Amino acid sequence: MSNIKNDIFAGITAAVVALPLALAFGVASGAGAVAGLYGAIILGFFAAFFGGTPTQISGPTGPMTVIVAATIATFPNDISTVMTVVFLAGIMQISFGIIGIGKWVKYIPYPVISGFMCGIGVIIIILQINPFLGVESYSSIIYTITHFLDTFEKLNIQAIILSSITLLIMFFTPKKISNIIPSALIALVFVTLFSIFMNFEITTIGEIPMGFPDFVLPISFDILKLSTILTFAITLALLGSIDSLLTSVVADSKTKTKHDSKKELIGQGIGNTICSFFGAIPGAGATMRTVVNINSGATTKLSGMVHSITLLLIVLILAPFASEIPLAVLSGILIKVGFDILDYKFLKIINKVSRQDLIIMVTVFLLTVFVDLIMAVGVGITISSIIAVYQVSKNTQMKTSRSRVSFDIDIENHEIEILKVKGSLFFGTASALESRLEKIKDSKKIIIDCKNVSFLDISAIFTLEEIIEKFKSKDLEIILVLNYRHKKKILSVDTSNLFRKIRIYHNLDDAINYTQKYELVHG
């Protein structure tokens, strides 16, 4: 019974924290405050009900909002197409969960995540400069930066006063107070009342309908736009999945439990899919709201569901008040959110990390801010993989030695070259093997000892095939030493029967004995 009480209290507390953020993200996305609220309500409920992280709170987040804003800018005044993107993203997340793609998230290098999160933080901060100054905002980072002088000429002093007060409250509210009442909620209520009292003429959220949102059919779109729609959908699905699973890891560390990544992605996908039918913006697991939920005593998924129900009641009851909230207040809240997203853990040690990690982080950061989020992650992972391959290839050892037969015959004709390979033999090291063998000139027989090879891929197998054929044309014999596993693997792809025609042994001594017997017979 006490657990139920704790979950209810935690859910209400999480809703209080989520309210200003949902409003802010909704406005920042371009879909409107009500879209942010219902994104938190719908996704928060269904992700909690179907998800695999009991204490996780889901709703609109910074990365997802940035993509939604770009989608809305690409398809202006076309809510059906925008919701098609959200619908497809949700379906993709469900499929990610079914096939178990979540387990691969842990293999994303930390510098990629750091550069991405810092980039998202900077995007949010830059895009909120105009609302902070009381000027109409742009959806483009570059346009916002290049037109800053024009923006400065149009600034609204009243808006700057409100946004500055909001930012001060967000940054300097003592933790003793913010632990009881979130600083975002304090700023939202206090600064809005201050604006009403001062009779400021500034842009507000505007009317928020008190009823339920209208139904949207998210499968009506121009087929010519399909390529762009799929690009945005994949971006949302990947970002939402990564964001949610990283938050799940945080929840695990605080609750000493283990989340179910498959169920979590399915729950997130179901929630985002349902969002698309009500014009709500998609989201993901929200780290700050999840931590607040856990610290408030949450232990089960009931807390996430209570959080959504509480938000729904707030919308239905307090919608008239919410309509008076100035956009400048929301900009101040979001700028603080942008600073919170920055990865200070990495930034504090940025002068101590390796050059490779720094290059990856900076590259991902710049691509995230100025080019494309998915490209940023893709390029970051690619660079990291190339560096990893290089490091692994450096650890692969290739040593050449000569063995002389024990007969009293011409030494020059009866020396065999032995090339011992230790480590991984794959596409990153296969060319090095070929280069090493090219340097061998005198021996008629060459033993390639791969008994200590831990990994063998198809690229290495094909390279071995080319080497055997090339040396055969030079009247040189290649003899392989392989363990049983690698021999089975090679023979399974030996469509030309080349490997079946050569000598393959399971230990080096047998290979050397063969060469001695051969020389005794043919010498």
Per DSSP, the residues of 66-135 read: HHHHHHHHHSTT-HHHHHHHHHHHHHHHHHHHHHTGGGGGGGS-HHHHHHHHHHHHHHHHHHTHHHHHTS
Question: Which pLDDT belongs to residue 411?
Answer: 39
Place of tokens 């619908």: 87
pLDDT at residue number 443: 66
Q: What does the pLDDT read at residue 410?
A: 41
d(CA 167, CA 111): 29
Q: Domain extents for the chain?
A: 2-205+216-386, 396-522
Share in percent of the chain as helix, strand, coil (round to 5)? 65, 10, 25
Give dist(CA 66, CA 319) in Å, integer.
25
Residue partners of 278: CB distance under 8 A and separation at least 6: 38, 42, 212, 213, 214, 215, 216
What H or E segment, with its residue span, contains residue 59?
strand 58-59
Q: What does R_g of the chain's alpha carbons equal in angstroms?
A: 31
Instruction: Quote the pLDDT of residue 306.
Output: 93
**What single DSSP character describes residue 416?**
E
Q: Is 327 helix (H, G, I), strand (E, B) or coil?
A: helix
Series of mean pLDDT values for 10-residue runs along the chain (523 residues): 78 84 85 89 95 92 87 88 93 93 76 86 87 81 82 86 92 84 84 90 75 71 81 90 85 84 94 94 88 83 93 82 83 86 87 88 91 81 83 71 50 66 78 74 77 84 84 82 88 85 85 69 48
Nearest Cα residue to 51 out of 194, 251, 235, 218: 251
Q: Which residues contact 485 (CB under 8 A, 6 or more apart)?
A: none
Instruction: Please tell me the CATH superfamily of domain 396-522, with its number.
Output: STAS domain (3.30.750.24)
Q: Of 364, 368, 362, 357, which Cα lies nearest the Cα of 122?
A: 368
pLDDT value for 94: 95
pLDDT value for 34: 87
- Whole-prediction pTM: 0.74
